[in-house]
Structure 1
């Protein structure tokens, strides 16, 4: 039974077409994920269904109560962003409504609260239409995906993972169709050229005729007829070539190989050492003294609930507070949400090229990977959306004179396609990566190690996010403890070589004993 019907919709924005819908329906217990690029019209569609935006053309039939959980929430309060979001969610779920339209409900929520949100929405009895950049959330909740693409809405059965597989399958089919088209076009062009050459040779009587040709009465008319026939065949080939249905070449990502300063010389060497570093803001203890080290080429995710001190740790590392020692060889590029490095009056290409050490060809390739194609790079940054400006800043950092990227929630404001493009770029980044994120898929794909802050403790976990959440976590915890001891051993050994003392020697022997005990467990 349908609770919403959308009939012959044509929606415009600023006089330009946004999307068209011939017919779509939302059933009573539907679980729909709505996806599309920034600016495709996802929030507009939700507002139309809720009756909060004027319809350009068409009809929306509602057979129940509809509630919209907006993306932009009132923040004139002392509550944190996560607290505001959770309050909106609780208020929405407390009301009796038939259709809940949730626009980015996981914004500002940490992983713990996203898991709570997932449980709440699974228990929800009405229909749900969900816009989210959290792919794990879409996977857990949705059994149908609506994709806004090129002003049309495509419907895919299944969750987000199934949608991505289908998209990949369509891309493979498009590639196969294109290759078939290219080969067929080449065959017709070769045949056309051969007939043209034969027709040209038949324009005059040969000097030497075969006996059979010499017996033909009126040899000249014979060759004229032969030429005419060849021209007719050539014209038929031209017609077939003109009627050959054109298949567009699929966009193919080009490999990006960046030369990172000192990347090889510092690879797998300690470049950030943290020793007995405590996290504290005013009178609030974030974490007890902790020690760890990050090596060149590591991709490290900092995870933990909101307010545990993830951003504080980043600032401590960048500022090299007491207890933090950064190698002189590292060059840090830091991404944060202020986006104050952009010149709004300059073009995308000009902004990214400023301070770049990579070639313009590589810069253009990287921008294309972030879906700034061809003339797009000449757009003024001032006309870009918030998500597009985030992409420009990230590109700016990646081509600059750095070998260590530190990113604080880089996927905020990015659409799913942009997030996946950024993942691909960062996975190939040959330098060191340290990032904060609540996006489970993003962490799983990129992180080779984790810094986990919870219950006022900070520990380095020497494995992936999947391993951290897996059944062998106890074994992995032993590996973490062992790594901490090895880090301390390395530090004490360095100090011993410079300033030998009985105290340092005793500490060194004690650490060796602890290491042996861990290995014997």
Structure 2
């Protein structure tokens, strides 16, 4: 066991005028299974890069261990998988690699296949196995779930639960809950470490937020009451002071000493009330700094003239000689939220592209309503570039609505000035989702929309889909999201 100490860490990217970290201090134990959470763009990957020594920073990071980052960069993906592992870690023991692959349910024959012939899920598992061959290192695991289907996520989560000594960045609630014992969270104004699972952390956060909201409301009322009281007392004091220069109704002279004493006493009471008011304002200023804004999202889907939007009968999809999926039949009717599930490679994305009208080789019957308008969110964000204003104009969507949705998804106004290509992976996904919510469509089709998206934004999207019940066909491997959202499940 050793400690990683972070003291007064301050960092901003060159040319940027906003600090990502400012005087941040905390301590973590290298034996922990540490879940790392925070909204998109808050600096999770940046912090991992600071641990790796990639950037200059203010403050200190001290540790008695080395760091290893996942995912590894693979230069020659055409090489055999065993050669790829040799490049990552030349001195490993073969039996240890076999042990790790066995735990991840990966067969030995993948070692003798070209790395690029492996599925995304197999590649992830192989690289994780290589990562855990490294001894005396603290492991930095950055979003390993993005290319894993539900079964693979459960398997990898169980695998990580048998390990320790890592930071895990993931936005999948069930995944985190199954394999971490501490949470490191980047909040709006600080970074904190807490013992327990993600659900424990979230419950504590909600409890703290609710306490602060109630305390804020109480102090707001106190401040108003004290302000009113102070004004009344001050006014009385001034009125009493005025009588010093007058006479009583009986004509006798007033007792100026008595009246001065009374006015001073009232003024003192007014000052004491003001002091209490300032204390209440100070207390209130300490509250609500880490409450996450997650305003409700809205969607205004077009109504279709028929109940059934899409129907498939005995559809099979082919790539060349290869059958991707066979004999699939289902319908999409208004108001349904359909989860398209299945292992990686089972044809989910191909099915979605077929329904969206792409040129896919298939047999069977596909029926789509005439003039059916579909809004599609792709897995791929690599094409995104330029500024948000031009992006909205080029896609024929309302710019102010588009930016309003992004604000609700935790975009700062600074982001609006940046090129989209510089956004984080989660922020790019939010651009695609915001565009889809702006489009006038009868049917939303979303292919893995939540990849890289932070947990609070996932919850916002869940609330949107539950409140407005749009017709949607989606592929998503976040089991919690699917359980909460889907009204029908189609398994390929």
TM-score normalised over the length of structure 2: 0.78
Q: For residue 191 of structure 1, report the CA deviation from its aligned partner.
A: 0.9
Residues 142 and 251 of structure 1, relative CA distance in 2, 3 Å threshold: closer
Distance (Å, rounded) in 1 between the aligned partners of 2:325 and 2:421: 41
Give per-residue Cα distances to partners, 1:232-289, cap 9 Å, x unaligned. 43333333322322345556644455443217x66xx222111221222221122322
The answer for unaligned runs of 5 or more in structure 1 is 454-521
Deviations 1:291-341 (Å, cap 9, x if unpaired)?
Answer: 211111111111111111001110111218761212236421001144488
Q: CA offsets, 1:201-224, max 9 Å, x none?
A: 446559x998xx748642677666
- Judge conservation of contact 1:387–1:415 (CA < 8 Å) in 2: yes
Using the TM superposition, give the Cα deviation of residue 228 of structure 1 relative to its aligned residue in structure 2, in angstroms. Answer: 4.9
Paired position in structure 1 for 2:272? 236
* Aligned twin of 2:2: 3
CA distance in structure 2 between the partners assigned to 1:109 and 1:261 by the alignment:
33
Task: Report the Cα distance in structure 1 between the residues aligned to 2:127 and 2:382, rounded to whole angstroms.
Answer: 30
Q: Is the Cα contact below 8 Å between 2:30 and 2:166 reproduced in 1?
A: no
Deviation of 1:196 (Å): 4.2
How far apart, CA to CA, are the structure 2 residues paired with 1:193 and 1:344? 55
Aligned-residue offset at 1:89: 1.3
Q: Counterpart of 1:58 in 2: which secondary structure? A: strand
Rg larger in 1 or in 2?
1
1:142 corresponds in structure 2 to 180
Say yes or no: does 1:316 pair with 2:318: no
User: Does residue 61 of structure 1 match 2:66?
Assistant: no
Map 1:272-421 → 2, pairs under 5 A: 272-319=310-357, 323-328=365-370, 330-339=372-381, 344-347=386-389, 351=392, 355-356=396-397, 360=400, 366-372=405-411, 381=420, 383-421=422-460
Whether the 8 Å CA contact 1:17–1:151 is kept in 2: the answer is: no
Aligned to 1:24: 27
**Alignment-derived partner of residue 464 in structure 1:** none
1:157 matches 2:198: no
1:42/1:299 Cα in 2 relative to 1: closer, same or farther (>3 Å)? Answer: same
SS of match in other structure, 1:6: strand
Cα RMSD after superposing both structures: 3.5
Q: Which residue of 2 aligns with 1:494?
A: none
Within-5 A mapping of 1:440-519: 440-453=479-492
Given that 1:3 and 1:98 are in contact with CA atoms closer than 8 Å, whether structure 2 keeps it comes out as no
Change in CA separation of 1:251 and 1:57 when aligned onto 2, cut-off 3 Å: closer
Contact 1:426 1:446 in 2 (8 A): yes
Cα distance in 1 for residues equivalent to 2:411 and 2:461? 13
Q: Tell me how far apart the structure 1 counterparts of residues 393 and 201 of structure 2 sit (CA, whole Å).
A: 33
Q: Distance in 2 between matches of 1:136 and 1:395?
A: 25
Question: Could you say if the C-alpha distance between residues 95 and 228 of structure 1 is closer, same or farther in structure 2, counting changes exceeding 3 Å?
Answer: closer
Q: Deviations over 1:93-123 (max 9, x none)?
A: 3344453332222231222322332233233
1:127 deviates by 1.9
* Alignment match of 1:38 (pick from 30, 37, 40): 40
Q: How many pairs are equivalent?
A: 441
Q: CA deviation at 1:394?
A: 1.0
Q: Secondary structure at the match of 2:34?
A: strand
User: Is 416-425 or 287-296 further displaced after alignment?
Assistant: 416-425
The answer to which structure, 1 or 2, has the higher relative contact order (CA under 8 A, 6+ apart) is 2
Whole-Å separation in 2 of the counterparts to 1:43 and 1:378? 21
Structure 2's unaligned 5+ residue stretches are: 79-115
Aligned residue among 113, 124, 129 for 1:85? 124
Q: TM-score, normalised by structure 1?
A: 0.74
1:294–1:303: structure 2 CA closer, same or farther, 3 Å change rule?
same
Aligned to 2:205: 167
